[in-house]
Chain A
Amino acid sequence: MLALRPRQRIVSVWLPLWATDRLRRELGDAAPPSDVPLILAGRDGSRRVALAVDLAGRKIGLSVGMPIAKAQALFPGLVVMDARPDADREALERLALWLQQRVAPIVAVDGQDGLVLETTGTDHLHGGEAAMLRDVVHRLQGAGFTARAVVADTLGTAFAVARTTKGAVVVVDPGTCAEVLSDLPIGVLRLPPETVSGLTDLGLTRIRDLENAPRGPLALRFGDGLARRLDQAYGRVGEPIHPIRPVDPVMVSRNFAEPIAAAETIARYVGLLASPLCVELEKRGLGARRLDLMLHRVDSAMQVVRVTLARPVRDSKYLTRLLSERIETIEPGFGIERMELFAAQAEPIEQRQRVSALIEEPTADLSGLIDTLVNRLGSDALYRVVPLESDVPERSVQRVPPLAPVTEASRGPDQWPRPTRLLSKPEVVQAVAELPDQPPRFFIWRGIRRKVKCADGPERVFGEWWSQDTERTVVRDYFRVEDTNGERFWLYRAGDGEHGETGSQNWFIHGIFG
């Protein structure tokens, strides 16, 4: 069974201070300052207790579940507000939908303060798992939320690591769940509190202890929920995630009487789903920017194919072709019993005139090609390079998305010759040169000694003191040199050849001319 389970990658996002962070964001300027402890009060039977405590409150020793009267008696300066669990839940669902549009097709709310995402096969669109998680956490932090994101093979592991780690972003490598879990406390296994306290009484405090203990007696005492949670965390049994859906999704689905598995059959049904989806999109005047094809397998596992589009599209042939290219990534297992095609992100289609004057050349529409390549290689792999106003060569260019509007460069080609290849990191060369401003007589690069026949320079580049303090006095003197074989190199000396504070006076090679 184990080998048949498809490889999954699950992200658990934990927002430990969700309720208080959300309230502060909602109140905006009217919110209490962040150094004033804030607790949210709710009813537990007849008592008023703290349901949420913010970071400042936790620092001074307040905790969730503490009676309000006690907290107020201990710390008279704190702010007490009413908890609104419904609003918290609603906001969490909105956040889940937002993540669904931007990060991964399957997103669900996990408890009061967490989200789970299945990102299998979608991380390449964001430049890898670590980059994807960092992006999510940065965006949440930018909005004022404390967040941690962990990706692992199973939901149980991701959940447990998210609740115990100190770092904001953790990537648990595939196949290492067991090692990561063994040392963690049993409190993060999503067990009922009474089970946890019962197990602690028995002296079982680590997941490793639980894993090594005999199953029978434990199941007899605590029920089979315990074994199931453990197996889910280790990935021995599956755990389906029920994705959240917007109120009126643009979605079409098809159930199969007999499970399908062949690639050709899947491709045919992709085509049959794409046309009604495009009809639906047309009714609403929309085009798809992100498209999720969800395949429900008979063993309750789900496979997802996500494609992104550079422009809103509702051409069913084109969408079918894009999806069909990814069919090879699907593992149908025992068969697929249901297929859903969902426009996760749809935008109004803007009609544009292609040529506005007779003398204008029609520009080729590259968005189709760019979609194909982006879905194959990831969005970071395609770019245009535009010049930036900087004299430091490695900072003088910037990557922009391929369809971003690019204006003609302000700096024309009348500047000094630039090398065709720029080394990603300048390499040290041994060189002999007359001080202060003569080009080197010879230099040794990668073990080859090259005699300089002629040279142009120096072209002095000053450090950008306005961007970094350490660059206040830094100087580079660039020379274009030609060796006796006719090969041309771009060398520079770190420093002006006279003053020690301008650089180390070492020679570097930075580029190769064509």
Chain B
Amino acid sequence: MAAPVTPPPLDALREKIRRMEGRLGHRKAAAPLGLPEIDQKLPGGGLPLGALHEVAGGGDDAVNAAVAARFSAGLAALTGGQVLWIAKKADLFAPSLQQAGLPPTRVVFVEVESDADGLACFEEGLRHGGLSAVVAEVGRLTMTASRRLQLAAESGGALGIAIRRWPRLANGADFGQPTASSTRWRVSALPSAELPVQGVGQSRWLLELIRTRAGESGVFEVEAGDGPAGLRIAGAPPPSTHRIGMVAALGY
């Protein structure tokens, strides 16, 4: 067909909105997770940088946020620069972050006494511009606070990840409240695949993309390996053949 290629109407509309918001020069980049199934649901084909994202643990993990922290570490590792990690309770075990792709040279930890301090540091870090990602473990996140953080992230260009962590399971209902974040994830542990021998298999997570601004939501079962993001759709064959399978499935 010789018809001229016209940009899809959706892209033109997005361009128009961006022009109205006055952010034309600051086109947001995105960090692909390396999983086409997830990336195609995200605007720009990956996790938008210069935006706030929320990650919460599902079930009991709302209190410990261990799965959420590991997942967030993988996301932060994707950005390739210095990471600020803000927490109220210093129970993060650094060797695990290293396995997720964040070596000691890349993470500065901040221990804060209150959520208010944590949010102030979060904003300061996002605004600074020298960091590639800022991760903060926060409980309550109001609409106002999240909007401030989102604006700070837009001005600094860093990936902002708020790990929602509540002191009690009951407070987890807070995650239903609306915020200004670009994406919201809930990660919960799933039983791993049976191994033919004794032992524990690859950890398997239920990854719920609850909300995406300018994108779709979705539910994925993934297996987590080492390294940045290090995700794989659960049940898929190992990486080498997996890519071909994926490409075929998408009809390319």
Q: Which residues of A contact B (CB under 8 A)?
A: 363-366, 368-370, 372-373, 376-377, 380-387, 393, 396-397, 399, 402, 406-409, 413, 415, 417-424, 453-456, 480-482, 484-488, 511-514
CB closest chain-B residue, reference A452:
B200
**A372–B120 alpha-carbon span in the complex (Å):** 11
Do A369 and B125 have beta carbons less than 8 Å apart?
yes
**For window 62-105 of chain B, which residues contact chain A by CB distance below 8 Å?**
64-71, 73, 81-82, 84, 90-100, 103-105
Do B71 and A514 have beta carbons less than 8 Å apart?
yes
A399 — which chain B residues lie within 8 A by C-beta? Answer: 109
Between A and B, 16 residue pairs with Cβ closer than 8 Å are A380-B111, A383-B111, A384-B109, A387-B95, A406-B104, A408-B105, A413-B226, A421-B92, A422-B91, A422-B93, A423-B91, A482-B191, A487-B60, A511-B93, A512-B66, A514-B68
Q: From B73, B81, B120, give the contact of A364 (CB < 8 A).
A: B81
CB closest chain-A residue, reference B198:
A454
Do A514 and B203 have beta carbons less than 8 Å apart?
yes
A363 — which chain B residues lie within 8 A by C-beta? Answer: 82
Inter-chain contact total with CB atoms closer than 8 Å? 163
Q: Which 9 A-B pairs have the closest CB atoms?
A: A514-B70, A364-B130, A422-B93, A385-B94, A486-B191, A512-B66, A418-B95, A486-B189, A420-B66
Do B105 and A406 have beta carbons less than 8 Å apart?
yes
Q: From B64, B109, B131, B195, give the contact of A369 (CB < 8 A).
A: B131
The answer to whether B204 has its CB under 8 Å from any CB of chain A is yes
**Contact size range, B:** 35 or more
Do A409 and B104 have beta carbons less than 8 Å apart?
yes
B99 — which chain A residues lie within 8 A by C-beta? Answer: 413, 417-418
Do B121 and A365 have beta carbons less than 8 Å apart?
no
**A514–B191 alpha-carbon span in the complex (Å):** 12
A420 — which chain B residues lie within 8 A by C-beta? Answer: 66-67, 69-70, 73, 92-93, 96-97
**A368–B82 alpha-carbon span in the complex (Å):** 14
**A485–B95 alpha-carbon span in the complex (Å):** 25
Most chain B Cβ neighbours within 10 Å, of A369, A406, A513: A369
The answer to whether B192 has its CB under 8 Å from any CB of chain A is yes
**A511–B59 alpha-carbon span in the complex (Å):** 17
**A363–B130 alpha-carbon span in the complex (Å):** 8
Do A513 and B203 have beta carbons less than 8 Å apart?
yes
CB closest chain-A residue, reference B118:
A377
Say how far B55's CB is from chain A's closest CB, in angstroms: 11
Do B105 and A419 have beta carbons less than 8 Å apart?
no
Q: From A480, A484, A485, give the contact of B200 (CB < 8 A).
A: A480
Say how far A411's CB is from chain B's closest CB, in angstroms: 8
Do A486 and B190 have beta carbons less than 8 Å apart?
yes
**A365–B66 alpha-carbon span in the complex (Å):** 30
Do A488 and B110 have beta carbons less than 8 Å apart?
no
Do B61 and A370 have beta carbons less than 8 Å apart?
no
Do A409 and B98 have beta carbons less than 8 Å apart?
yes
Question: Are A487 and B130 CB-contacts (below 8 A) given A369-B125, A397-B95, A456-B200?
Answer: no
Say how far A443's CB is from chain B's closest CB, in angstroms: 14
**A409–B99 alpha-carbon span in the complex (Å):** 12
A455 — which chain B residues lie within 8 A by C-beta? Answer: 198-200
CB closest chain-B residue, reference A487:
B189
CB closest chain-B residue, reference A448:
B60
CB closest chain-A residue, reference B226:
A413
Q: From B68, B117, B189, give the contact of A377 (CB < 8 A).
A: B117
**A381–B103 alpha-carbon span in the complex (Å):** 20
**A473–B192 alpha-carbon span in the complex (Å):** 36
Do A369 and B66 have beta carbons less than 8 Å apart?
no
Say how far A360's CB is from chain B's closest CB, in angstroms: 14
Do A377 and B131 have beta carbons less than 8 Å apart?
no
The answer to whether B145 has its CB under 8 Å from any CB of chain A is no
B198 — which chain A residues lie within 8 A by C-beta? Answer: 454-455
Do B93 and A372 have beta carbons less than 8 Å apart?
no
B82 — which chain A residues lie within 8 A by C-beta? Answer: 363-364, 366
The answer to whether B17 has its CB under 8 Å from any CB of chain A is no
Do B200 and A377 have beta carbons less than 8 Å apart?
no
